[in-house]
Amino acid sequence: GAGVSQSPRYKVAKRGQDVALRCDPISGHVSLFWYQQALGQGPEFLTYFQNEAQLDKSGLPSDRFFAERPEGSVSTLKIQRTQQEDSAVYLCASSLVGQVNTGELFFGEGSRLTVL
């Protein structure tokens, strides 16, 4: 597709369930980012991939959060044993170049997670 695609767009989970969120970046984009956006807040950085290598995971809030990009294209963000505070929109972004400080990020529409 022409843009970054995320699925599912909406996910409701019961507390304690595991969820998996998928991101299809723009074809050929080297960099892939995950952000978490809570209601009324700006996006908060979670993790960064350059091709298949996860170069920065400093923003992941706990060891319940795990991200992978095994073939350097599609990425999955997995949240284990979801908690209510995990409720947020999870944004994926990709960039053609390998440096965030020079490249424009292209964002997907996000996956809205609600944990009951």
Nearest-approach distance from CB 15 to another protein, in angstroms:
27
Query: What are the CB-based long-range contacts (under 8 Å, 24+) for 60-64?
Result: 61/36
Binding segment for another protein among 19-27, 31-39, 62-70, 71-79 (CB under 8 A)? 31-39
Does residue number 25 form part of the binding site for another protein (CB under 8 A)?
Answer: no
Binding status of residue 102 toward another protein by CB under 8 A: yes
Q: Which of 56, 66, 74, 87 binds another protein (CB under 8 A)?
A: 56
Q: Per rule CB under 8 A, is residue 40 in the interface with another protein?
A: yes
- Give the closest residue to 4 by CA, choosing from 90, 70, 102: 90
